[in-house]
């Protein structure tokens, strides 16, 4: 009888302990949710010192081995994928943000050629993305890539974050038979200030799994960024479109960059990552309680 009683006591203790652990886990989930914060990434498009605008001519003096030339650039589209966001805390631990795929864009209306009925992608301007459920902590750096990793780039029917065959660049900016994503696009018109012919279409694009390697950018913050339920974070970047033109010293000749010009695609990607996209500032903002 004593042994039997001991068995029941042990079983009851086990059940109680199990329930207690379950309750602790549930409490931990609640506490974590309450402590999580948000982070905004803002990408301010510029042309040198001026604000970037579509359908506006910007002067550009081109200097190369052949001489000095006065050109003008008028843009109709700037789009790129920001993906695989990671935050580095003060202890050097990386926190990967799940499903972090965001389309940043400034574009005129685009005809969607592979859909029937004359559908059009509307004129859109989006320079800021907001990431929720950031673990509470202090972060000293941020990492992200420009483009889409192979898993999703090889199958645009898969969805994650803002990816999907009926979203953004999947709809109107896919390669050939819409089997993969364009990572970065710049489109518009180049003009000679003087000369004939006086204009050419500008179409610069990057993509392919191979170009995703090397597409990550690491930004060290000047001071640690505190993020929690009471403090939301914000990181501001400048995107200087004029610096993108430095991808080639022959933009009139290389007015079209795509899959058949790998070296120029790499130069275009690298110009964006190392020259055009620059860190401006970061800070935390107190969140007012409801």
Domain boundaries, the chain: 1-35, 37-286
The model's pLDDT over 210-235, given as tens digits with 9 standing for 90+, comes to: 999 999 999 999 999 999 999 999 99
Give the whole-angstrom CA distance, residue 242 versus residue 38: 31
Residue 65 pLDDT level (bands cut at 50, 70, 90): confident
Which pLDDT value is given to residue 168? 56
The pLDDT assigned to 279 comes to: 97
Alpha-carbon gap, residue 102 to 38, rounded angstroms: 15
**CA-closest candidate to residue 182, choices 212, 221, 158, 157:** 212
Alpha helices in 114-212 (DSSP H): 150-153, 168-172, 209-212
Res. 104 pLDDT band, cuts 50 70 90: very high
pLDDT at 60 over 60: yes
- Upstream peptide bond of 242 is cis (omega within 30 degrees of 0): no
Q: Report the b/e string of 144-165 with b at 16+ CB within 10 A.
A: bbbbbbeebbeebeeeebbbbb
CA 25/CA 162 separation, integer angstroms = 31
Determine the pLDDT at residue 63.
87
- The C-alpha atoms of residue 196 and residue 159 are separated, in whole angstroms, by 47
Q: What is the pTM of this model?
A: 0.83
Supply the pLDDT for residue 78: 97
* Separation in Å, CA 21 to CA 9, 13, 24, 34, 106: 18, 12, 5, 20, 50
How far apart are alpha carbons 86 and 12 in whole angstroms?
Answer: 45
CA distance 192 to 222: 42
pLDDT for 179 equals 72
* pLDDT recorded at residue 171: 45
- Number of residues written out for the chain: 290
Q: Report the percent of the chain where pLDDT is more than 90.
A: 64
* pLDDT above 60: residue 13: no
């Amino acid at each position: 009888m004593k042994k039997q009683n001991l068995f029941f006591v042990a079983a009851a203790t086990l059940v109680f302990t199990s329930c207690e652990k379950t309750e602790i886990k549930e409490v931990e989930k609640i506490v974590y949710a309450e402590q999580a914060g948000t982070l905004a990434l803002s990408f301010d498009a510029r042309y040198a010192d001026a604000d970037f605008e579509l359908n506006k001519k910007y002067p550009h003096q081109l200097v190369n081995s052949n001489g000095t030339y006065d050109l003008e650039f008028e843009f109709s589209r700037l789009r790129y994928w920001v993906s695989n966001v990671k935050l580095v805390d003060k202890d050097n631990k990386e926190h990967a943000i799940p499903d972090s795929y965001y389309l940043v864009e400034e574009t005129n209306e685009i005809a969607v050629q592979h859909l029937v009925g004359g559908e059009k992608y509307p004129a859109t301007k989006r320079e800021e993305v907001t990431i929720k459920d950031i673990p509470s902590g202090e972060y000293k750096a941020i990492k992200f890539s420009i483009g889409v990793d192979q898993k999703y780039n090889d199958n645009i029917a898969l969805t994650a974050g803002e990816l999907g065959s009926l979203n953004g660049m999947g709809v109107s900016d896919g390669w050939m038979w819409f089997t993969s994503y364009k990572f970065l696009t710049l489109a518009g018109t180049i003009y000679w200030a003087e000369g004939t012919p006086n204009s050419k279409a500008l179409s610069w694009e990057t993509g392919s799994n191979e170009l995703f390697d090397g597409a990550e950018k690491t930004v060290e913050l000047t001071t640690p960024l505190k993020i929690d339920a009471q403090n939301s974070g914000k990181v501001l970047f400048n995107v200087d479109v004029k610096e993108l033109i430095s991808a080639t010293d022959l933009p009139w000749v290389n007015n079209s960059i795509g899959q058949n010009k790998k070296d120029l695609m790499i130069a275009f990607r690298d110009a964006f990552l190392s020259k055009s996209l620059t860190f401006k500032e970061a800070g935390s903002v107190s969140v007012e309680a409801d």
